[in-house]
Amino acid sequence: MALIPPVQPMLAKACSELPPARALPGGVAFEQKPDGYRALLFADLEGVLLQSRNGASLTASFPEIAAAGRALPVPLVLDGELVVAHEGRLDFGRLQVRARRRGTGARLAAKEVPAHLIVFDVLDTADGALLNEPYRDRRGLLEELFADGVLANRSCSARPRPTGRPRRTGSTPPGALPASRASS
C-alpha cells in the first residue's frame, strides 16, 4: 500500500443544482450523504487505523470496525461514513457518544450500539494507490470487493464485474472471511 495516514479525504461539495451528465470528463456520480462521521479505514498486515476526516484516530472508540479491518484478507484503504443506527434510523447523537468512549466502555458500547462503516470508495490496495484512477474504476473495484465477499454487507446490491477490467486487490484466498463476521 502506498498511502500513509493521515490522508485528507475528498469532501462533498454543496451545489444549488445538479450538473449535467457530461459536465465532467468521465461523467458525474452522486452518492447519498448519511448522517455520520467521515472516516478512512487503513487495514494491512501491520495493523488497522480508523481515521477521522481531520486525521485523528477513531480506532479505540470503534473496536468493532477495527476488528472488521483486521479480518480483511487483503490490504485496503477504504473511504466511508461511520454511522450508528437506532430504532431503524441513523442516530448522530449516539454516534457522538460512541466516539467519546475508549477501552472497556468502547467494547461494551460496540455490543449495545454497534457502529457501521458505509464504504463508498477504495483509495489503496496491495497493488498501490488508486487516487489517480477514475471514480468509475474505483467504484467497480468496490462492487467487486463486495461481490467476492472481501467486504460484506447485507444491504449491498453489487453488480457483476465488467469483463476486461483487471483485478486490483492482490491475491484473495478462496473462502476469505468477510469483514462483517469479525464482529460477530
Choosing from 10, 19, 27, 33, the catalytic residue is 33
Burial of 37 (0-12, 13-18, 19+ CB in 10 A): buried
What is the pLDDT at residue 153? 59
111 is catalytic: no
**Structure letter (DSSP) for residue 133:** S
Low-confidence ranges of the chain (pLDDT < 70): 153-184
For residue 184, what is its C-alpha cell?
Answer: 460477530
The SS3 of residue 47 is: strand
**pLDDT, position 92:** 97
For 63, 171, 183, the CA distances from 176, given in Å and listed in that order, are: 21, 11, 15
CA dist., res. 166 & res. 128, Å (int) = 14
Q: How many CA atoms lie within 13 A of 11 on its CB side?
A: 8
Tell me what pLDDT residue 20 has.
Answer: 83
Alpha helix (H) residue ranges in the chain: 63-70, 92-99, 103-112, 135-147
